[in-house]
Amino acid sequence: MKSDNHLQNDFETITNVIGQYFTGIHSGDSQLLARIFHPDAYLKAPDLRRELTEWLTLVEQRPKPIDRGDYYGYQILSIDIIGHQAMVKVLCPLLGRTYIDFLGLLYENQQWRIVNKMYADYKDKE
């Protein structure tokens, strides 16, 4: 079992990776995003699958939230760490929509990287 200090370090490192994720999607920085995702990562939503390279191209081509003056309202909702695996749930207000992302991370080769992204367009029930 990991020590409390080691878990705290993992928590801080994962939080930093997620901060980079938020910065990357807000600024449209596909190079930053490529560094924090594992190359064979997949992005998944109901009836939709994208390889990482396809998604990074879409990020480059779409309007950049930072250029539109969009509010930076990204939030970490939860982080669960078990050994060398983590699941992070985040809120991403992006380009007029609000997404909930579930980001799976693995610790391999001395680093935490995103290996899977599942996401849903969150709509408030009124």
Residues written for the chain: 126
Domains along the sequence of the chain with CATH:
4-121 (3.10.450.50)
Angle at 45 between CA 33 and CA 103, to 5 degrees: 45
Cα pseudo-dihedral 27, 32, 37, 40, rounded to 10? 100
pLDDT in tens, the chain (126 residues): 555 566 689 999 999 999 999 999 999 999 999 999 999 999 999 889 999 999 999 999 999 999 999 999 999 999 999 999 999 999 999 998 999 999 999 999 999 999 999 999 887 433
- Residue 74 buriedness (CB in 10 A; 0-12 / 13-18 / 19+): buried
Instruction: Compute CA distances 71 → 31, 74, 77, 92, whole Å.
Output: 22, 9, 18, 11
Distance, CA of 122 to CA of 48 (rounded, Å)? 16
| Exposure on the CB side of residue 57, measured as CA atoms within 13 A | 5
pLDDT at 5: 64
